[in-house]
Structure formats: structure tokens, C-alpha cells
Structure 1
Amino acid sequence: MTTVLPVPHDRLDFTALEAPVDPAAVRAFRQATKASGSQNATTGVQAITTVFGVVVVVVVFFVFAIIGTVFVSLFLSSFGGAFNDVPVVLLLFPLFVVAALVLVVVAIVRRVRRGSDWQRWYRLDRFAAANGFDFAVTSPDPPYPGTVFGLGRNRTSYDRLRSTSGRFAELGSYRYTTGSGDDERVSSWGYIAVALDRPVPHMLLDARANDRVFSSLPSAFARSQVLSLEGDFDRHFTLYAPSAYERDALYVFTPDLMALLIDEAAGWDVELVDRWLFLYAPDPIDSADVGAWRRAFRAADLVGAKVVSRTQRYADERSGGDAHQASDAPEASVAPEASAAFLGQAAPPRPGEPTIAPGGRRLRGGIRWASIAGVVGVIVWWIFVTRLTGR
């Protein structure tokens, strides 16, 4: 099993991400990037996002301070005149203000420690040059078929590293916008994309480690497609496979691959679709954290190589392809969708390449229980408030 990266994960040179940088070199990089006109539109995006987030948190704290003051006032009034001489606002409001100020200071300190956007981008550009990758501050509307890539608007990959030789592989973060007005929301993900040699059925592993109350995935799938695997794998992932593709899923997810996923990708959702392997994290990759990049590259290399080896001779019998064969053939260099992805086009099928039958190309959607729970919660709250106020 060989690497899927231009350089194996254990031989990547991370010096550029850790060594001190020359301010003059950063300025030259900034000028050259701006002169190219390709990436200057996002300058300061993360700084603005940080400031906006801090402002939102402060506003929320002030709102809770007011609400808390009202409720405590009502509570203390039930004790008669014992607390009449103590202004309630003096009991609560300063605590909320101090907490808000602490959050502001923490955000500023973290921002200073991370360095400027241009300094961070310069480091990533140098790292990419040293390890066979192409770096882009942003890459609009990536043409991938994965679950998180077709949602919302303003779809953008950022802090993106893409292989320039060998098998196509890409790592970075991704964001998109949903809703409008007061309900507008920006969702961000960390992702890994690896090109496969052959098309595969749509299969998805929902990692339990990155779930909250409900799945972190933005789309729901019918529970009738859940397939249980051996051992304790089900404690770490929920596997979705198209109906009647259980044997195909077992062909791909062998015990050694399952063990590797538990060890190296427990915090990533994993998706196989068309000729792609995707890994998603519900938070963007911290591009200033060398440890985060090391873990991401390790997962991309180890999991990617194993999935490639398990799928490189797969064929869907339902579409007229050959039966499953042993997966001991050497890996191909670059899957054809690599060049297509650069151009934002759909990858053409290879001559004579097997295809996936219609029933296995996409998982069936299901009920989004988080949305239902939210609606039920609003109704219960409305009933509670109505009865409390007697209206």
C-alpha cells in the first residue's frame, strides 16, 4: 500500500509552519498575491469573523444579564423586604460584564498568538511548495459531489492544499451560507478529498465522536439503510449503505479498514461517492495549528491508501460489471477527475469503466430529527409561557 500524498505523511516537512517568518518575505508574498488578483478578496475575513463572534457573545451576555436580573428580582421579591435594600443589578450584572470582558481578552490573545492572516497564508504557501502541494487562500464553489458541498450559497474552500502530482488529494476548510436575514448562518467544515480509481456505491460513515445531541452531518439519511458491522465498530461509526448493497459494503469495509478508521479517523465523517473519498470534520481545520495539519495529513494518507486499495478493483454486478476481484493490483497514479476538478467540471467516465447501478449511486434521504426537536421545543416553550402568563 503506497501513499496517496505527494510525500508520505511521516516524511512531510512542517518546518515552514513552525519556523519564524521574515516580515519582509511576508510583505513580498502579500504584494505578489494581491498583484495576481486571485486571492485578495478574502483578506481579513477571519479577523472580521472573530470580531463579529466576540460582539455576538457580548450581546448575548448582556441579554442574559437583563433576563437574569428580572428573574432574580422576582425571586427575591417573594422573600418580602429582606432584600429590599440590595439592588439586584449589583448582584448579577457585574458578573456578566466581567465574563464578557474575559471572553474578549481571550479572543484577542488567541488572535495575536495566531499571527496575521498574511503571515499564516505565507507559511501555508511555503509548506505547500516544500511538499508538492498547491496552496490557495480561497477556492470558490468546489465541484465535489459530497454531502456537505452542494448546500447553501457562497460555497468556498479556504486554506486549501491540493496535490500537484501523483494521486489527486486535497485538504482544507469549507464554508457555505444558509438562510437569510436574522436566520442567516455560515457553516464551516474541515475536509479531505481523495480521488479513487473506480466509481463506488454511495456509502457514508457518521462518526459518533463528533456528534452532539444529533448527528453533525447537514443531511439526514433513511435509517433503513444503516448496516451493522462486526466488533465494536458500531460504537464509533454509523454506516449507511444503499439497500441491497450490504455485501458490497462488507467488501470495502474489511476489519483492517475498520480498525484503521477507529484509530485514525474517529473524529471524521467518511463518505464514498462516485469516484471520491471524503472525510469531514464539523469544525474547520485550524490552519495555524501544526498538530491539526499533522493529524489531517496522517488520516488522509493512511485511510486514503487503504480505501483506494479496497476499491481499485471494485465492480457493481448490478450494472453489468465483473464480480468483485482481489484488491492486490497496483494503484493508478491520478484518477481522471483530478484534472476535471481543477476545471470545475464533472469527470468523464473511463473507456470500458464499470458504473454503479442507479439504486446504489445515492443514499435515500431521511428525517432531520434535530429540526423536529427544535419545532417541538418551540411549541413546548410557547405552551409553558402561555400558561405562566395566563394568556
Structure 2
Amino acid sequence: MARIRSHLRGPREREAEEYRLARFAEANGFTYTTGQLDPERSAVLFGVGTSRVVSDLIEGVTPRPFETANYSFDTWVGRVRMPRAANYVSFELWGGLPAMTIVAKAPPAAAWEPPAPQERIRIEGDFASRFEVFTARATEEAVRHLLSPEAQAAITAVAAQCDIEVTADRVFVIARRQLPMAEPAYWERIADLASLMTLLEARGRGDRTAAFEGADLGRRTRREALFAAPRVARAAVVGCLLPLAIGLAAAAVLTRIVVG
């Protein structure tokens, strides 16, 4: 797996993260795979570029079937190689949603193109200042109905820096950078995203939707920290994540030693 890249700085840090994620996955009944070359997924992202590699792939069934991983690939401008990185979470859909792509305006890296025949549709309000929405003409009204003010607020709360693609039976939430998967806040974020999926499905069925818990200030602060630029000091993390029931009470022990 020499082609696998990581946001970590050296082999010792990489080995420590693999160990912690493997222990975490085992404790929670998930499966952990160190890496996967040329992954095939239904989102457009996985057909872009060359040297496509998934790293730290974790799959589970709670709170709904999901998989998450960091991802790297290369794009080219002439003969110049442009390394790209992403992180994704995908969830299995329990109810039908119209195929669509929601593209965040905030991340600095350029987004990949939504799949044909999707085209940009007009969305009113503050949501339009943060996201662009694409879908086929045949599903435009269904997407407008789905993106109620409550749904827009929930997406903004938990995925403001991410792109979202709905395919036939899955939803992909894609960050245009790698994220620290060994952090407890990462898994709290996955719980919030799972709640978002439930809200969107309820909206798609026409059910009444409740207030979205992911808007809590503390959770929002921890989510934003995941996307913050790395600190100058390098932190070595000792120990492993304790069993974490996503969507229930979470427990984790992390001891940090600043070494530089």
C-alpha cells in the first residue's frame, strides 16, 4: 500500500493511527481496512483523476449502514500533477430521495462537476449564499420540496464545508480535505450526519420533522475544529478510542503529548 497517502507526518504516527482506528472499529463492531486502491463508488468523485486511493476505511451498520474514509487522487494540468485529498461519509438510504448534488461555496479547493444531466437550480434565501444545488429537470420540484427551511438549516449546521451527492441508494457527504478520523469529534459528526439523513428522508416522505439536535453550539464548535488548519505544534496521541455507540452516549479517552 505504498501509494496510500495520509495527513500524518511520518510512519510512526501513521502506525499509531492505524492501531487506534483498528481497535476502535473492533470495539464498536465495525470493520476496518487500512487501504483500498481504485475504489468503485457511485459518487462522481470516485471517477475523477488517477492514482485513486481510499485509506482508513471503516464500515458499520449503526445507526444505519455507513462507510467513511480519507481519500486521495491526482489530477493533471498538462504535465503537472496536482495531488488532491478528500474525506467522505456515505450512508445507505432507507427511503427514496431525488438524485442531486449540493456544492459548498466555502472550501478553497475546486469542486468536481456534478453528473449529467444535472444542472444548477435556483434556491432562495441564505442557503444560496453557501451552496449551489444541481439536479435533473425532472426532479427539480422534488428537490425544492426536500430542501425546506428546516432541511436547509440542518445541512448548513452539520455540512457547511462539504459537498453532498445523492445517488440511487446512497448519500455521500464529501469534505475536500482529509480529516482526523481518530478524533472523538469525527464520530460525533458522523452521528450528526446520520440524523441529517433521517431528517431528509422524513422530509422526502412528507412526514413532520423535529428540531435538529446537531445545531448544538458545543457540537458545532467541535465539528469546526475538525476542519481547522493543523497547529504548528505536532501532537502525539497515546491510547485508543473506547467503544463509541454512534447516536448514543459517546465515551473516548485521548491523552495528548505536545512534542514540537
When the two structures are superposed, what TM-score results if normalisation uses the length of structure 1? 0.47
| CA deviation after TM superposition for structure 1 residue 209, in Å | 1.7
Which of 160, 181, 199 is the aligned partner of 2:57?
A: 160
Contact 1:177 1:186 in 2 (8 A): yes
Quote the residue 2:66 is aligned against: 169
Contact 2:102 2:134 in 1 (8 A): yes
Deviations 1:197-236 (A, max 9, x none): 3554321111112146xxx212267999322334311111
Quote the residue 1:277 is aligned against: 171
**Residues in 2 aligned to 1:119 and 1:178: alpha-carbon distance in whole angstroms:** 30
Deviations 1:304-326 (A, max 9, x none): 22233334x5xxxxxxxxxxxx3
| CA deviation after TM superposition for structure 1 residue 303, in Å | 1.9
Contact 2:100 2:118 in 1 (8 A): no
Aligned letter for 1:309? A
Quote the residue 1:352 is aligned against: none
1:304 aligns to 2:197 (yes or no)? yes
Aligned letter for 1:305? T
Which of 219, 222, 226 is the aligned partner of 2:113?
A: 219
Equivalences, count: 208
1:123 aligns to 2:17 (yes or no)? no
1:183 aligns to 2:80 (yes or no)? yes
Matches within 5 A, 1:205-216: 205-211=102-108, 216=110
Quote the residue 1:147 is aligned against: 44
Identity %: 23
What is the DSSP-based 3-state SS (H/G/I as helix, E as strand, rest coil) of the residue aligned with 2:43? coil
**Residues in 2 aligned to 1:224 and 1:133: alpha-carbon distance in whole angstroms:** 34
Which of 143, 147, 155 is the aligned partner of 1:249?
A: 143
Contact 1:132 1:165 in 2 (8 A): no
Runs of 4+ in 1 over 6 A off after TM superposition: 221-224
**Residues in 2 aligned to 1:227 and 1:270: alpha-carbon distance in whole angstroms:** 15
Contact 2:4 2:35 in 1 (8 A): no
Rg larger in structure: 1
Quote the residue 1:16 is aligned against: none
Matches within 5 A, 1:51-66: none
User: Taking structure 1 as reference, are residues 126 and 118 closer, same or farther at Cα in structure 2, changes over 3 Å only?
Assistant: same
User: Taking structure 1 as reference, are residues 299 and 187 closer, same or farther at Cα in structure 2, changes over 3 Å only?
Assistant: farther
Aligned letter for 1:169? F
Quote the residue 1:360 is aligned against: none
Matches within 5 A, 1:256-335: 256-291=150-185, 293-294=186-187, 296-311=189-204, 313=205, 326-327=206-207
**Residues in 2 aligned to 1:242 and 1:258: alpha-carbon distance in whole angstroms:** 19
Question: Whose strand fraction is larger, Structure 1's or Structure 2's?
Answer: 2
Matches within 5 A, 1:3-22: none
What is the DSSP-based 3-state SS (H/G/I as helix, E as strand, rest coil) of the residue aligned with 2:20? helix
Deviations 1:355-387 (A, max 9, x none): xxxxxxxxxxxxxxxxxxxxxxxxxxxxxxxxx
1:234 aligns to 2:124 (yes or no)? no
User: Taking structure 1 as reference, are residues 118 and 176 closer, same or farther at Cα in structure 2, changes over 3 Å only?
Assistant: same
What is the DSSP-based 3-state SS (H/G/I as helix, E as strand, rest coil) of the residue aligned with 1:149? helix
Contact 1:264 1:298 in 2 (8 A): no
Quote the residue 1:134 is aligned against: 31
What is the DSSP-based 3-state SS (H/G/I as helix, E as strand, rest coil) of the residue aligned with 2:98? strand
Contact 1:196 1:277 in 2 (8 A): yes
What is the DSSP-based 3-state SS (H/G/I as helix, E as strand, rest coil) of the residue aligned with 2:39? coil
Aligned letter for 1:276? R
Q: What 5-or-longer segments of structure 2 have no aligned partner?
A: 209-260
